[in-house]
Every structure is written in C-alpha cells, then in structure tokens.
Amino acid sequence: MALKHATPMLDELEKGPWPSFVTDIKRMAARKPMCEDLLGLLEMSYEHKEGHWKHGGIVGVFGYGGGVIGRYCDRPDLFPNVAHFHTMRVNQPASKFYSTEALRKLCDIWEEHGSGLTNMHGSTGDCILLGTTTDQLEPIFYRLTHELGMDLGGSGSNMRTPEGCVGRARCEWSCLDTQDIIYDITIKYQDELHRPMFPYKFKFKASGCPNDCVAAIARADCSIIGTWRDKIRIDQEAVRAYVGGELVPNGGSHGFEKRKLDIQKEVIDLCPTRCMEWDGKNLKIWDEDCTRCMHCINVMPRALRPGTDVGATILCGAKAPILEGAQLSSVIIPFMKMEPPYEEFHEFVEKMWDWWMENGKNRERLGELIQRLGLREFLKAVEVQPDPRMINTPRFNPYIFYDPADVPGGWERDAKAYRERHHA
C-alpha cells in the first residue's frame, strides 16, 4: 500500500541486516496516519538535515508534574497528524521482565490511544510510548493504572525512574537484590517521582556488582553498586580445570573452543592490584589488597565467586555534561548493608535530598552542588566521616580551609599585641 509521503531517503534504511525501524514504522503506517506523517516529517528532516520538533509545552496528567514530554511539530501544515506528538514514560518493571499478557495489553491501549510506536526502552529505563495527543493522556493513564497496574515514570525536576541490572534474577555475581532495591526506592518515593520538588532531576541506578551492567556510575546521581567485604570464594579444582583447558575462559566471551587459560597473563597480570599468585597448583588471593574489580571472577566464573558478606558501595554525582562537564559518581559510602527495610539507606537519601533542596540552585544537579560547595559540606550534611576510600588522592594544592575550631583562639587576632611584637 502506498503511503502518503514519498520517503526515498528513509527507504535506504530498509536495507541491510540490522532490523529496520523504518520498515517497522511503515508497517504501522498502513493503518496509523500518525505514523504516516511521522515518516514524512522524518524524511523532511533527512532532507534539511535539521529536526522538525518544537519545544514541548507543559502537558501531563492531572496531579503529576512529570511522566509526559510534550512535543509539537513545526510543520503542522504539512504533517497535521503529528502536530501533537507527546511521549508518555511508563515506569517499567524493575530490570524489564514482562509477561506477554501485560505487554499485549499495553500494546492494545497504545494502539488505541496513540501512535502505536514505542521505545523499548528509554535511556533512563522507562517504557516509552511515543506520540499521542493531549486529549489522550488521561484515558491512557486511567487504563494503565486500572487495567495494567502500571504508572508513569519521571520527567522534569523529579526523581526519575530508577533502574537496576538483572541482578540475582539471572546473574550469579549479584551482591544485591537490585530489583527489590529499585522497587523499594520507586514505591517509597512516588511523590518525589511524580511531583517536581527538586532543583533538578535526580536519578538512582543499582548494579549488583562492579561490572555495573546498568552503567550506574556514569549516569545516576546516586549509584548503588554491589560489592563484598570478605574474601573471593575460590574453587581450586575449577581453577586447575581452567588452566588445564577443561573449562572455557571468560564463560565463552572470547570463543567457545576449549583452550588452556594462561592464568598468569590473562588473570594475574591484569589484576589491578597484583594481589594474586598461582603456584602451578593453587591460586592465592591476598584479599586485603583486592579492589574487587571483578576481572578474575569474570574470566573464571566457575572457579571464583564474590564473597558472602555483601552490600553496596554508594556513589553520588554522575551526570551528563550540561553545564560544568560530565561527572562520574564518587564514593560516598564505601560499604552499606542493603537489606529490607533499607532504613539506613532511606535516611541517607533523605539527608542528601534535604541538603540539595536547601542549597541547590535552579537546574543544579547534586554532583554540581557537591562540586560547588565541596565534598566536605556534603559529607557533613549526610553525616558521613571522611574516608580515604572517597578519594583517589588527597589534595595537592595547599589551599586548605582550616576549621577555626581546631585553631587556638579560632580566627581571633590581637592586632595590638601583634604590633607590639612587630613594629610596622
């Protein structure tokens, strides 16, 4: 069936082995005028090498300050069906397992009320419903909550939809119940998720181990990363099996042929702290020097496992570049046990938010505020003692804000006595 707009450039994107979003949209376009116009608009963008969307106005569902991104096209004259093309962010179930039953229902709702196009998933983690009109927002919301038990995710100066890695659901290394932690945060802070109260957005992400499969350290204002405090568990026999070529190194990441693992070169020499030794029969790890980087475990998953005294390292401040340049999260709490009801963690979160809300400027992320006021102020606010694990290196500039409380007489000076000792 011929579509309304010719799309010679987009058609080029139907070629090649990777699944084509163009083919997919075209399929929908046959019965969805919104999709037809979207293709036309996109083709025009390809010609102009410029996008054709305007700033979104404030649209949303009643009582929520987030969850919908308003979007209007700048050529409604040509593409009336995408004149309005708002996005709804549906809060995904933690780590994105779905029953087909739920998914199909979601599809039905969306086909009825919107474009029928989605993003599975948005970068933050939401299940994104891409393109609808203002009048459809409330009906969709109603049906989501009533029929699916689903709710909207975050946008604006809110807590954003938290997300975690697959964790204990299907990974042997997880030191955390990532799903449960994410679910707990999401539920406990529904108000913060839906109603803007912060200086800017705030993101949580949780990875079960330092491999950080959800990229928490790069993109969450508060990154929760699983770790352990005791020893790596070693199965010496399995180590020997790797060395002997009976097991495939790195779980097959580099190929599946059985080959002898060169344990010295592939493991010991790549250990960042060089805290391992292989004497030809046994592997020794000096765990007190291990920085739990995961490399050895990654390479020998059947021989090595994280310890059992598990918990999280809490790091704060990651964000994209706007304004001061991108930041990674920094260690704030080297180790915290993470067990329900997560009280210690909640207390930390609330102290952190209080400080941020009190001191943060408009559009200032937590990481930028810490930069501006100093890590010291943040630690004071969250009542955490300074620890060398928070830094890569102590300061190298001599510009120290000494605390007057530590100085005899504080900042008081006796100018007269001074000039008695030192004539001007």
Interface ranges with ligand SRM (CB under 6 A): 69, 71, 87, 89, 95, 119, 121-126, 128, 153, 161, 165-166, 171-173, 201, 203, 211-213, 215, 219, 250-251, 253, 298, 319-322, 365
Is residue 340 within the footprint of another protein (CB under 8 A)? no
Using the minimum distance from each CB to another protein, give the nearer residue, 125 or 348: 125
- Pair of tokens at residue 75: 């050529």
Using the minimum distance from each CB to a copy of itself, give the nearer residue, 164 or 367: 367
Number of Cβ atoms within 10 Å of the Cβ of 102: 15
**What is the Cα 362 distance to its own chain's centre?**
22
User: Interface residues for another protein in 130-159 (CB under 8 A)?
Assistant: 130-131, 138-139, 142-143, 145-146, 148-151
Is residue 399 within the footprint of a copy of itself (CB under 8 A)? yes
Is residue 400 within the footprint of another protein (CB under 8 A)? yes
Is residue 324 within the footprint of another protein (CB under 8 A)? yes
Is residue 272 within the footprint of ligand SF4 (CB under 6 A)? yes
Q: Say whether the peptide bond before residue 341 is cis (omega within 30 degrees of 0).
A: yes
Is residue 213 within the footprint of another protein (CB under 8 A)? yes
Is residue 382 within the footprint of another protein (CB under 8 A)? no
Using the minimum distance from each CB to ligand SF4, give the nearer residue, 190 or 291: 291
**CA distance to 71, 74, 263, 338, per residue, from 224 (Å):** 33, 41, 31, 10
Minimum distance between the CB of residue 409 and ligand SRM, rounded to whole angstroms?
26
Piece of the chain touching a copy of itself by CB under 8 A; list 156-164, 191-199, 298-306, 396-404: 396-404
**What is the Cα 48 distance to its own chain's centre?**
34
Residue written as token pair 């005294």: 309
**Looking at beta carbons, which residue is closest to ligand SRM?**
122
What is the rounded CA–CA span in Å between residue 116 and residue 109? 9
User: Interface residues for a copy of itself in 213-272 (CB under 8 A)?
Assistant: none
CB 206 within 8 A of CB 166: no
Long-range (24+ apart) CB contacts under 8 A made by 78-82 are 78/40, 78/41, 78/44, 79/37, 79/38, 79/40, 79/41, 80/37, 81/33, 81/34, 81/36, 81/37, 81/38, 82/34, 82/37, 82/38, 82/41, 82/131
Is residue 397 within the footprint of a copy of itself (CB under 8 A)? yes
Piece of the chain touching a copy of itself by CB under 8 A; list 69-77, 165-173, 180-188, 377-385: 69-77
Spell out a b/e string for 69-78, using b for 16 or more CB atoms within 10 Å of the CB, else e. bbbbbebeee
For the chain, report the end-to-end CA distance as a whole number of angstroms: 96
Give which of 151, 141, 86 is closest to 109, Cα–Cα. 141
Residue 234's SS3 state is strand
Instruction: Quote the radius of gyration of the chain (alpha carbons, Å).
Output: 27
Residue 224's SS3 state is strand
Query: Which of residues 76, 139, 196, 307 is near a copy of itself by CB under 8 A?
Result: 76
Binding site partner of 276, from a copy of itself, another protein, ligand SF4, none, Cβ cut-off 5-8 A by kind: ligand SF4
Using the minimum distance from each CB to ligand SF4, give the nearer residue, 55 or 281: 55
**What is the Cα 358 distance to its own chain's centre?**
24
Residue written as token pair 């943040």: 378
Using the minimum distance from each CB to ligand SRM, give the nearer residue, 6 or 98: 98
Residue written as token pair 């096209």: 73
Binding site partner of 1, from another protein, ligand SRM, ligand SF4, none, Cβ cut-off 5-8 A by kind: none
Piece of the chain touching another protein by CB under 8 A; list 276-284, 323-331, 341-349, 352-360: 323-331
Is residue 292 within the footprint of ligand SF4 (CB under 6 A)? yes
State the binding string over 308-347 for a copy of itself (x if CB under 8 A, else -). -------------x---xx---------------------
Using the minimum distance from each CB to another protein, give the nearer residue, 147 or 350: 147
Minimum distance between the CB of residue 106 and another protein, rounded to whole angstroms?
8
Q: Say whether the peptide bond before residue 346 is cis (omega within 30 degrees of 0).
A: no
CB 91 within 8 A of CB 151: yes
Site residues for ligand SF4 per CB under 6 A: 165-167, 171, 173-174, 207-209, 211-213, 271-273, 275-276, 285, 290-297
Site residues for a copy of itself per CB under 8 A: 48, 50, 52, 54, 74-77, 321, 325-326, 396-399, 421-424
